Chain A
Amino acid sequence: MKKLLFFLLTLALPCGIASAEEPIRVGSKAFTESVILGEVARHLAALDGFAVTHSRALGGSRLVWNALLAGEVDLYPDYSGTLIQETLQGEKIESLADLKAALKQHGVEMTGPLGFNNTYALGMMEEKAQTLGIKTITELAAHPALRFGFSNEFMNRADGWPGLRRTYRLPQQNVRGIDHDLAYQGIEAGRLDVIDIYRTDAEIAYYGLRILTDDRDHFPAYEAVYLYRTDLAERAPALVSRLNALAGALTEARMSRMNAAVKINGQPEAEVAADFVAETTGGVVAVQTRGFWQRLYDRTLEHLALVGISLFAAILVAIPLGILAVRKKHLGRLILSITGILQTVPSLALLVFMIPLLGIGGPPAIAALFLYSLLPIVRNTHAGLSDISPAIQESAIALGLPSVARLRLIELPIALPLILAGIKTAAVINVGTATLGALIGAGGYGQPILTGIRLDDMTLILEGAVPAALLALLVTAVFDAAERLFVSRGLRA
């Protein structure tokens, strides 16, 4: 039993990841341009020697905005149109000056516009547009059979599809939400006819898309800016003045080039951003691109921490719950159905539910994984204990063993094979589900998978998927070994 406890403790070992000094935290949204601008801010901070981290590609506008308000991140790049039409919709904002004032109410400051307007637009493959003779969004109305594929955020934003449809009275029914980076592949493959694009997207030129004219001026201006928490001006005045000095320095052409460098040429964002920083400030930042093994090592630690901590906590909670479920039948049914229901919540939704409670990064991911791990362990503990024959239970009672000793000496050891199997199931599920943690900034093997999807880079996807699969196999092997080590020979077939 002591050996077993020690084994479980070592599962939780890769968890000692905490830092002493509070670094400046940069955030970015889940698309390449945002990540590049995040990297630019990170480099600018590094120029003045600040400790700085970048939670890249955290998620959609709403999520990153909330992270800023909650102090989970100190700054991130955003767009004026998004802020006015979506984030602060309902507040009367007519100009950038209004916007600045409105943001102040939330304790947020805004830099001047960086110099490019990354407006939304609709795009079609040049050839198709020519065949149908479509140049403007108005002309789309005459072709109700066209298939639209819009980024999920665009589908739901006030200034996105709902507003656009109203402005232009568009009749199309075949409209689906799709990841922005996958939309380009869809339109190239001919499975989509019209997609939403950002003006600075590198793919516009690469795939030869025609941008349809917004002839009724539906889309507002989307001036790129940085948002930062008011307190950053005190914590890092040098950084704030550097950010403000960027105003007007970044043209649409320059931004498109940076996007292309990353998305088409496969240069790391850090490098592209460093080049830009050197150009505009003259300051040189050392981009230590982590080598493959270093990256793998870092992500493995992150992934193990996610899986290890959540699993360990789940074991500590689920086994007592399973015991309780056997002792108190009514409560037991309740426990089993609650943990069962938790299991049916889609993992992505569960992750996102955790954000208001725990912010972004590791803790919400660990909490979600913890909840997921409960059911297999509770269920197997319950089954293992209920399976023990009445003859054995009565013999144990008749011997005069008190109930705690019965549990420790008889019931748990006999139920151990099933309990271990439950923990193994939970661990394997966890290894897979933890890859989704990258969506909310928790890192791990999901990071390269997400980036790989964003950049349409299969090598990068494999860089996350293969270690995740190997880790699942390793976990299985470890638990099989644990079973041989801890389960009594008398119980094995």
Chain B
Amino acid sequence: MFHLSSVEKSFGGVRALKPFSLSIPAGETLAILGPSGSGKSTLLKLLIGILAPDAGHISFRGKEIGEGGLAEYRRHIGLVIQEGGLFPHLTAHANIAIMARHLKWPQAKIEARIAELCTLVHLPQDRLSHYLKELSGGERQRIALMRALMLDPDVLLLDEPLGALDPMIRYDLQQDLKSIFATLKKTVILITHDLAEAHYLASAIILMRDGGIEQSGSYQDLASNPATPFVRRFLQAQRGLALGRAGA
């Protein structure tokens, strides 16, 4: 689905991505892990074309992205970021429908699609008339997800979608995301800090460090065969946290 070859990106003196190559097959659910500042969000922004690479190529379905216009391309991609990035001046409904309206979908089609999405993400319909400030964190992320899915994109990009939620709501949403991914069978790229979440939701994992890939593979690959001392430390840190939380 995506193919990156020798992609580089720096901000001023800061090197956010080292020459970076990666192929993401269609239908894969990929989790990207890594410490803060390792370049995860930068990678996602390159994929959706908010940032342009300094060098290298990014192709989508064999074509350089942006070839047929970035706006057109972006309609095949849904993005959800931490805190949702919802528009505060619009109701939840208007947030979700904004692109469909812009593309002049008939009203009935918009309503039908929103109803369908409400069922999918388990959002009661009456929440739709509310503004951002009147919605809870969990509701906001469900609405952001609906907005990303509205045009039925081929790819879903999620940048720490559950990062700001309290553990109970986070747990509910993890369950829901798992079933949504299973239902939709889309290509999903999910950034998270949480190894357990990555294991639960994704079939493949990339662990990043300082703008490069430290190790990639399945959870089992990483757990049983840590490629570097850094990977081992990363795994230990995650397990320690998990044990502590379990109280065992």
Contact = CB atoms under 8 A, between A and B. Distances in A.
Nearest to B131: A490
Contact of B89 (A394, A397, A414): A414
A392 B102 contact: no
B89 A490 contact: yes
Interface stretch (B71-79, B198-206, B211-219): B71-79
Interface residues of B, number: 29
A354 B133 CA distance: 49
Given A402-B71, A488-B89, 13 more contacts: A391-B81, A391-B83, A392-B88, A395-B79, A395-B81, A399-B79, A400-B71, A409-B98, A410-B89, A488-B131, A490-B88, A490-B90, A490-B91
Given A395-B79, A409-B98, A491 B74 contact: no
Nearest to A414: B89
Nearest to A394: B50
B132 interface: yes
A399 B88 contact: no
Interface of B: 45, 48, 50, 70-75, 77, 79, 81-91, 98-99, 102, 131-133, 147
A391 B81 CA distance: 8
Interface string A373-403: 0000000000000000001101111111110
Instruction: Determine which residue in A399, A409, A410 has the highest number of CB atoms from chain B within 10 A of its CB, and name it.
Output: A399
A413 B85 contact: no
A398 B79 contact: yes
A396 B90 CA distance: 13
A484 to B, nearest CB: 14
A413 B87 CA distance: 10
For chain A, what secondary structure do more than half of its interface residues adopt (helix, strand, loop), or is it mixed?
A: helix
10 contacts: A391-B83, A392-B85, A395-B86, A397-B50, A398-B79, A399-B79, A400-B73, A400-B99, A488-B88, A491-B88
Contacts of B147: 399
A145 B91 CA distance: 76
A405 B85 CA distance: 17
Contacts of A402: 71
A166 interface: no
A416 B75 CA distance: 28
Interface in A400-422: 400-402, 405, 409-410, 413-414, 416
Contacts of A396: 87
Nearest to B147: A399
Contacts of B45: 394
A397 B157 CA distance: 14
The 6 residue pairs across chains A and B that have the minimum distance between CB atoms: A395-B85, A490-B131, A400-B74, A488-B89, A398-B79, A391-B85
B102 A401 contact: yes
A328 interface: no
